[in-house]
Amino acid sequence: MAVIVDLFFQLLQMTLVIAVAPLLTGLVRATKARLLRRRGPPLVQPYRDLVRLARKEAVVADTASWLFRFVPYLVFAATWVAAALVPTFATGLLFSWSADLIAVIALLGAARFFLALAGLDVGTSFGGLGSSREALFGALAEPAMIVIVFTLALVAGSTQLSTVAAYMASSNVGLRVSLGMALVALFIVAIAENGRIPVDNPATHLELTMVHEAMILEYSGRHLAVIELAAMLKLVLYVSLIACVFAPWGLAIADASVMDRLLGAIAYLAKLALAGVALGAFETSIAKMRVFRVPDFVGAALMLAFLGALLLFVSRTLK
Amino acid sequence: MSSVMLFLSGDAALLALAVLGATVARKSYAPALVYFCALAISAAMLIGATIQLLGGITGGGTVLPLGLPWIGAHFRVDALSALFLVIVNLGGAAACLYGLGEGRSERSPERVLPFFPAFLAGMNLVLVADDAYSFLLSWEFMSLASWALVMAHHREDDNARAGYVYIVMASFGTLTLLLAFALLAGPAGGYAFDAMRTASATPGVAGLAFLLALIGAGSKAGIVPLHVWLPLAHPAAPSHVSALMSGVMTKVAVYGFVRIVFELAGPWDWWWSVPVLMVGAGTALLGVLYALMQHDLKRLLAYHTVENIGIIFIGLGLALAFGSFSMPSVAALALTAGLLHAFNHSLFKSLLFFGAGAVLSATGERDMEHLGGLIHNMPRTAFAFLVGCVAISALPPFNGFVSEWLTFQAILLSPYLSSWMLKILIPAVGALLALSAALAAACFAKAFGITFLGRPRTDAARRARETDRFTLAAMMTLAALCLIAGIVPGLFIDALGPAASILVGGRMPAQLGNAWLSIAPIAQSRSSYNGLLVFLFIAASASLAASFIHRFASDALRRAPPWDCGAPDASPATQYSAESFAQPIRRVFGAVAFVVRERIDMPSPGETRPARFDLRLSDRIWDALYEPLVGFVERASLRLDRLQFLTIRQYLSVVFGALVTLLVVLASWP
């Protein structure tokens, strides 16, 4: 019986992340529209877009190989599995131990790797441009993320996200300089990884400014729908990650009652809404960077995270 | 028959095969005969070594009346040699399979067939040698056999230079190893490894021997700055030999380092880990940066070997650090990470070199800028190569990820070390490791994307045909092993246990008993990873998504010309090239490893001449270290040249002076 309940909550987590992903993107878009004094599309517009895309016939370039049609599902699956492993409303779910935070980062790295290949597959200049820039951003953001993991793991004594979140929710954390640095670094990485302003503009199709959009330029129909959904999931993943580590309030700790978990879910949705509005406001208030300014921006995250981790490494006495 | 005799007779059979290869090399049946026999011998030794490794049999040593009369030749197989025997013979067997396929179209078989089995025998002998004399003899034999293979196509551009640089560096490496053994053997001359194990060298002598071993074995493995020969020599050989040199011989060098430093040099000081960690991190980062800037496919792979050697040395350095502060279980974790990466790297690097060899023989091209679109004509090669790329980029659920993950887990335990220097050094090493892992993914996105994807850039690439079934079998076997080692890593970690307990006196907890075959290096609550579940989850979610969409939404598909923002260009030259793919990374990181000179020649408006862009990269290490050295040797030899033209009287006085000096030195020696 217990196993069935556990399995139920694990499946609930998987469906929850995928169900709210378009909503979060819709919320960000709506906030941005409101701040620009536009009415903007309704909140559910991303759902409609996905359905519309999925129903359309897919147009695939003549020069595309089998990899091109295979990649969207793979990228989606890797992102979904990664998103399902980040605690949203509760920790210690059935499969939460099957991969730790390093593995989650590597799963996202796998998604990026295949997406970059898809960008090169058709053999157009835009695809190559997107892939090449994405490879650069990834090469900067991924080590920054790993170093952030160093900080979290040293504070919580584990790289298991469930354990980290449970530790952060407990009262013995306190304020730490390292965690502050890690938080700032994590913000920067999240912005870079999700291709938000100022690193990349998800709304643009203006040739020279796009990175992610250039990579997926040749996709259409259901393939595009799946890739878009994966991008939305990635945003949810990063928001959940920041929420569960730095704002673990309301999170149901392992073996909590069903009621606690329900409360956790409500708290989680509130956090998502807050994050969506904040992201929208942030994006409206800042201009996009030139591509070669981005390494400085993400490099700052790497340095901050490293400084934070170094502080912990040297301050830990022999136990 | 004891197990060591099994391996020795295997080596004798390989040597006999080398002689046979030399006699029949020009016959049409020779390649099939030699490669088939070598395959059979390697497979037998592989099975023997696997049984030895898994069964934990401690084979006794044996002494043969060979070599120096008062020493004899000692041979022994323990868990460490068994592990490396598995690596060597697995790589060897795969290379023989490749030889049965692509190797048969070799242009000059008489330059390959005699040396190929000899090279295999040399590597195997290094692993079973149990005294300094037979170790160095086998080591040098291995170097010379591989040198002969590098020179197989000696008339091609640059190959002669590659061979020259290689033989110089190999001799230098052997010299330092010789000195290291001399220091360890002590004045009494205990050259057998057993004598060295029991003898306790003073800390100073042991430290010196350690540094010499790091230089000697490291130069063979390709650590920066001793790597310069590697990217020249490895690609110059025929592709299956490149695979052996890159995937396997560098591991033999790692074995030499581990054997000497962890076992023979006796209890080690904590400072030993500092140079190893620094060299490892520098090697990892510079190796991948070099690789990213290459557009010769085989040279890219060779440079990338340098990166992986760096990762292995980081694991070994961590093991030295933890071992010296008596934390044997963590030392075992770090050592296991390093050794597992050595095994993993031998799998995917051989696979990738086979793929590069298949591409080379299908198109005659190694330059990625002349390839492209091969996935259409060579789908199976492309698939296997893709698996290798994903595995080497350390992406789950393949094997490369597991060993890097273990290394990170060891790094995360380093705050418990009680040395300030290490506490500051190790996080920096961890950050560099993360950076090089991320750059490796970019490097292999480039390698696969430019070679196999896109549109063919030349007619040669357009006309490529799929390779033969032996080559495919070799690649598919290795690809399958990459996946298996990635999804059930516990099996491989447990097999490394005995080797770790010999070297650091501890081992990782047994992993196979964990639920769902997951691995947990310290404790489940601290960190765990389950490749099998991750693999199953990805497969299930991908197929779920695909079937859901095909069932409930559309499955219509139309082929059309590429869109490319409405302005597609028919010329394949408008695609991104290898050079342009790496350009952003070169602008950001290039200055670390290279002196980059870009020259843009833009005609003024109205002029009709074409614009030109010229890019020169020069290796900082070559410029700073080797150029002055070469210059010094040349100047010194010019000076010494005078000695050739003395009169007989002057010669007599030189001889007399030398004699007197030597006698004075001898007389005043305490």
Residue from A129, A236, A246 nearest A180 by CA: A246
Rounded to whole angstroms, the Cα distance separating A294 from A288 reads 10
Contacts of B562 in chain A (CB under 8 A): 61-63, 122-124, 218
Selecting from A140, A205, A313 the residue whose C-beta is nearest the C-beta of B415 gives A313
Rounded to whole angstroms, the Cα distance separating B13 from B120 reads 11
Supply B8's token pair. 């020795």
Q: What pLDDT does residue A157 have? A: 87
Alpha carbon separation from B509 to A157, B258, B330, B489, B500 (Å, rounded): 19, 22, 11, 13, 11
Check CB contact under 8 Å for B449 and A154.
no
A148-162, B110-124, B220-234, B504-518: segment of lowest average pLDDT: B504-518
Residue A208 CA to its chain's centroid (Å): 24
Number of independent structural domains in chain A: 1
H helices of B327-468, in order, are 328-363, 374-377, 379-392, 399-411, 420-452, 459-462
Smallest CA–CA distance, residue B58 to chain A, in Å, is: 35
B147-151, B303-307, B525-529: segment of lowest average pLDDT: B525-529
H helices of B151-272, in order, are 159-185, 193-198, 203-221, 230-236, 239-243, 250-258
* Mean pLDDT taken over chain B: 91
Residue of B324, B453, B483, B518 to mutate when probing chain A, most A C-beta within 10 A: B453
Q: DSSP character for A318?
A: P
Name the residue with higher pLDDT: B447 or B420.
B447
Rounded to whole angstroms, the Cα distance separating A167 from A114 reads 34
Supply B87's token pair. 């690596």
Residue of B318, B554, B571, B577 to mutate when probing chain A, most A C-beta within 10 A: B554
Q: B616 by DSSP, 3-state: which?
A: strand
Check CB contact under 8 Å for A110 and B396.
yes
Contacts of B453 in chain A (CB under 8 A): 65, 67, 117, 120-121, 123
Check CB contact under 8 Å for A121 and B562.
no
Rounded to whole angstroms, the Cα distance separating A101 from A109 reads 12
Residue from B473, B462, B492 nearest B380 by CA: B473
Give the chain A residue nearest B450 (alpha carbons): A120
What's the mean pLDDT in B149-159?
89
Smallest CA–CA distance, residue B270 to chain A, in Å, is: 16
Contacts of B379 in chain A (CB under 8 A): 65-66
Supply A185's token pair. 């670094």
Q: What pLDDT does residue B71 have? A: 76
Check CB contact under 8 Å for A128 and B454.
yes
Check CB contact under 8 Å for A313 and B445.
no
Buried b / exposed e along B188-205 (16+ C-beta atoms within 10 A): eebbbbebbeeeebeeee
Q: Are A277 and A239 in contact (CB under 8 A)?
A: no
Check CB contact under 8 Å for B418 and A318.
yes
Q: What pLDDT does residue B246 have? A: 95
B234-243, B458-467, B595-604, B655-664: segment of lowest average pLDDT: B595-604
What contacts B512, CB < 8 A, 6 or more positions away? B490, B491, B494
Q: Are B410 and B337 in contact (CB under 8 A)?
A: yes
Alpha carbon separation from A275 to A38, A41, A280, B595 (Å, rounded): 21, 19, 8, 44
Q: How many percent of chain A have pLDDT more than 70?
A: 97
Tokens 């004509």 belong to B377
Check CB contact under 8 Å for B431 and A58.
no
Contacts of B285 in chain A (CB under 8 A): none
Check CB contact under 8 Å for B437 and A142.
yes
pLDDT digits (tens, 9 = 90+) for A194-249: 989 888 887 776 666 678 888 999 999 999 999 999 999 999 999 999 999 999 88
Check CB contact under 8 Å for B534 and A318.
no
Q: Are B382 and A121 in contact (CB under 8 A)?
A: no
Check CB contact under 8 Å for A97 and B372.
no
Residue from B486, B434, B213, B495 nearest B310 by CA: B434
What's the mean pLDDT in B640-662?
92
Selecting from A84, A106, A112 the residue whose C-beta is nearest the C-beta of B396 gives A106
Q: What pLDDT does residue A206 have? A: 64
Smallest CA–CA distance, residue A79 to chain B, in Å, is: 9
Give the chain B residue nearest A134 (alpha carbons): B442
Contacts of B382 in chain A (CB under 8 A): 65
Q: CA angle A29-A33-A34, nearest 5°?
A: 120
Supply B289's token pair. 């940066």
Contacts of B543 in chain A (CB under 8 A): 73
Q: Band the pLDDT of A319: cuts 50, 70, 90.
A: very low
Asked if pLDDT for residue A317 goes beyond 60, the answer is no
What's the mean pLDDT in B146-161?
90
Check CB contact under 8 Å for B588 and A136.
yes
Check CB contact under 8 Å for B563 and A61.
yes
Residue A108 CA to its chain's centroid (Å): 8
Check CB contact under 8 Å for B454 and A78.
no
Selecting from A95, A100, A128 the residue whose C-beta is nearest the C-beta of B581 gives A128
Q: Chains A, B: CB contacts under 8 A, how many?
A: 301
Selecting from A132, A157, A159 the residue whose C-beta is nearest the C-beta of B583 gives A132
Smallest CA–CA distance, residue A102 to chain B, in Å, is: 7
Q: CA angle B411-B415-B420, nearest 5°?
A: 110
Selecting from B430, B553, B562 the residue whose C-beta is nearest the C-beta of A124 gives B562
Q: What pLDDT does residue A249 have? A: 86
Q: B571 by DSSP, 3-state: which?
A: coil
Selecting from B423, B542, B580 the residue whose C-beta is nearest the C-beta of A77 gives B542
What's the mean pLDDT in B308-330?
94
pLDDT digits (tens, 9 = 90+) for B555-585: 899 999 998 888 888 888 889 999 999 999 9
Q: What pLDDT does residue A318 have? A: 41
Q: What pLDDT does residue B532 have? A: 92
Check CB contact under 8 Å for B533 and A314.
no
pLDDT digits (tens, 9 = 90+) for B251-268: 999 999 999 999 898 788
Check CB contact under 8 Å for B415 and A316.
yes
pLDDT digits (tens, 9 = 90+) for A240-294: 999 999 998 888 887 778 888 889 899 999 999 999 999 999 999 998 888 888 9
**Phi and psi at residue A61, to the nearest 5°:** -65, 150
Check CB contact under 8 Å for A139 and B585.
yes
Q: DSSP character for B157?
A: T
Q: B205 by DSSP, 3-state: which?
A: helix
- Pairing type for strands B557-560 and A58-61 reads parallel
Residue from A276, A274, A296, A293 nearest A284 by CA: A276
Question: Which residue type sits at B607?
Answer: E
Check CB contact under 8 Å for A126 and B565.
yes
A26-35, A212-221, B445-454, B477-486: segment of lowest average pLDDT: A212-221
Q: Return the half-sphere exposure (C-beta side, CA atoms, 13 A cut-off) of residue B491.
A: 13
Asked if pLDDT for residue B92 goes beyond 80, the answer is yes
Contacts of B529 in chain A (CB under 8 A): 98-100, 102-103
Residue from A185, A198, A210, A128 nearest A306 by CA: A185
Give the chain A residue nearest B576 (alpha carbons): A128
Cis peptide before B225 (omega within 30 of 0): yes
Check CB contact under 8 Å for A63 and B584.
no
Q: How many percent of chain B have pLDDT more than 90?
A: 68
**Phi and psi at residue B613, to the nearest 5°:** -125, 125
Rounded to whole angstroms, the Cα distance separating A107 from A68 reads 19
H helices of A175-257, in order, are 177-193, 212-215, 221-246
Give the chain A residue nearest B518 (alpha carbons): A98
Contacts of A76 in chain B (CB under 8 A): 541-542, 545
Selecting from B453, B533, B549 the residue whose C-beta is nearest the C-beta of A117 gives B453
Supply A156's token pair. 């919580």
Rounded to whole angstroms, the Cα distance separating B414 from A112 reads 30
What's the mean pLDDT in B622-646?
91
Buried b / exposed e along B221-257 (16+ C-beta atoms within 10 A): bbbbbbbbbbbbbbbbbbbbbbbbbbbbbbbbbbbbb
| Sign for the pseudo-dihedral over CA of A199, A202, A205, A211 | positive
The H or E element that residue B3 is part of is: helix B3-24
What contacts B630, CB < 8 A, 6 or more positions away? none
Rounded to whole angstroms, the Cα distance separating B475 from B480 reads 9
Q: Band the pLDDT of B59: cuts 50, 70, 90.
A: low
Selecting from B455, B553, B565 the residue whose C-beta is nearest the C-beta of A55 gives B553
Contacts of A74 in chain B (CB under 8 A): 538, 542
Q: Are B261 and B214 in contact (CB under 8 A)?
A: yes
Q: What pLDDT does residue A205 have? A: 67
Selecting from A100, A116, A314 the residue whose C-beta is nearest the C-beta of B527 gives A100
What's the mean pLDDT in B400-425?
91
Contacts of B373 in chain A (CB under 8 A): 63, 123
Smallest CA–CA distance, residue A173 to chain B, in Å, is: 17
What contacts A49, CB < 8 A, 6 or more positions away? A225, A228
A51-60, B23-32, B290-299: segment of lowest average pLDDT: B23-32
Give the chain A residue nearest B443 (alpha carbons): A135
- Cβ–Cβ contacts within 10 Å for residue B612, how many? 10
Q: Are B330 and B271 in contact (CB under 8 A)?
A: no
- Pairing type for strands B594-601 and B612-619 reads antiparallel
What contacts B106, CB < 8 A, 6 or more positions away? B31, B112, B238
pLDDT digits (tens, 9 = 90+) for A21-65: 999 999 999 999 999 999 989 999 999 999 999 999 999 999 999
What's the mean pLDDT in B279-295?
94
Selecting from B444, B539, B559 the residue whose C-beta is nearest the C-beta of A62 gives B559
Rounded to whole angstroms, the Cα distance separating B454 from B368 reads 12
- CB-count exposure of residue A45 (10 Å: 0-12, 13-18, 19+): middle
Domain boundaries, chain B: 621-670
Selecting from B408, B546, B556 the residue whose C-beta is nearest the C-beta of A58 gives B556
